[in-house]
Structure 1
Amino acid sequence: MKQLVLVSFFIFLTWSTFAQKYSGDQSDIDAIIRQSDAWSEYYVEGDVRKLAELYSIDGKIMPNNSEIISGRDAIAEKFQPKEGIIALQHKVSPEEITVLGHMAYDYGYYEGVTRDERNIESPFKGKYVIIWKKIEGEWYIYLDIWNRIVIPD
């Protein structure tokens, strides 16, 4: 019996460690997840205009080692692919999404792969926090901050 309790406790700890935490209206959570998926899709396509439109008009990004960048035009410029670099994959994995009325926050991890002009693929990974705003029934990114995690060789 003692072993069964220990095994059950271990399974619970393992499951809760990897479980995502979502709270709020499910339709809002689903809409935020769709917007995050669209972000990844537009990033891989290199469509910086569509990507920037996922941000509110007053949206801001806070890249690592950079000033705060405000507005859709500046955001589109920041995400303009570097010459010779193409994105092959991008995925966002939320750890938590919490909807609080017309605002929400979301944090988790992102990962992807790019390829350079020498055909060398480079994986990347990082963590992020996003503050969302619901404007006229649509969810937009208001604040977006991220930084990379070093991937061991």
Structure 2
Amino acid sequence: MLKLSSFLFIVICFSLTACESKTKNSAIDKTTQPGFDQQQARSFIDSINAKFSQQLAAGDSAALASHYWPDAELLLDNSEPVKGKDIINAWGGAIRMGMKEINLTTTDIKGDSLFIIETGNYQMKNDKGSLLDKGKYVVVWEQRNGEWKLYRDIGSTSMPARP
């Protein structure tokens, strides 16, 4: 049985691909389409990821939640989807449980002028530098009115299940 995060990633990819299939001879790899600059996208994402890490270290769950659209969803292991305004509470809970550091490493970026799909790896640590979790993620960035924010944030741990 597929994990929920894998299933959702497949659904998102299928949806994006299905939309493109309507255009005759359209390229599947949208990174070459006009309006999408891979280098600019990577620079933007690296900048936001650095800011995200600083905001987590500062314990600012409101700032973390500001990177998400109001209809965004946070999809994590062993939990129901966290939607909209509840995202601030999810990050606040993580901070209260001792998360102090997050390291995000982008491994792939694909997209067009409306969506960017970022794939990467993460490590979360406490204030003593001890590893709390590590894994992989897929986020879907959406542009609305010239502004990019997170539409879907999907994370999956790589650590073994605890007995």
TM-score normalised by L of structure 1: 0.72
Q: 2 CA distance for matches of 1:43 and 1:122?
A: 15
Q: Is structure 2 residue 159 aligned with structure 1 residue 146?
A: no
Larger radius of gyration: 1
**Counterpart among 128, 145, 152 of residue 136 in structure 1:** 145
CA-CA distance at 1:33 after TM superposition? 2.1
> Could you tell me whether the CA contact under 8 Å between 1:44 and 1:86 is conserved in 2?
no
Q: Is structure 2 residue 42 aligned with structure 1 residue 33?
A: no
**Residues 70-149 of structure 1: matches in 2 within 5 Å?**
70-71=83-84, 73-81=85-93, 85-115=97-127, 121-149=130-158
Give structure 1 stretches of 5+ with no counterpart: 1-22
Q: 1 CA distance for matches of 2:109 and 2:132?
A: 25
Q: 2 CA distance for matches of 1:94 and 1:83?
A: 23
> Could you tell me whether the CA contact under 8 Å between 1:97 and 1:105 is conserved in 2?
yes
CA-CA distance at 1:82 after TM superposition? 5.2
2:151 maps to amino acid: Y
CA-CA distance at 1:129 after TM superposition? 0.5
SS at match of 1:67: coil
Change (3 A) 1:51 1:99: same
TM-score normalised by L of structure 2: 0.68
The residue number in structure 2 matching 1:17 is: none
Q: 2 CA distance for matches of 1:45 and 1:65?
A: 26
Q: Is structure 2 residue 65 aligned with structure 1 residue 56?
A: no
> Could you tell me whether the CA contact under 8 Å between 2:59 and 2:100 is conserved in 1?
no
Structure 1 stretches of 4+ moved >6 Å: none
CA-CA distance at 1:130 after TM superposition? 0.3
Give structure 2 stretches of 5+ with no counterpart: 1-30
What is the identity percentage for the equivalent residue pairs of Structure 1 and Structure 2?
24
Q: 2 CA distance for matches of 1:92 and 1:83?
A: 17
Aligned-pair Cα RMSD in Å: 2.2
Q: 1 CA distance for matches of 2:136 and 2:95?
A: 25
Q: 2 CA distance for matches of 1:59 and 1:83?
A: 20
Q: 1 CA distance for matches of 2:118 and 2:131?
A: 26
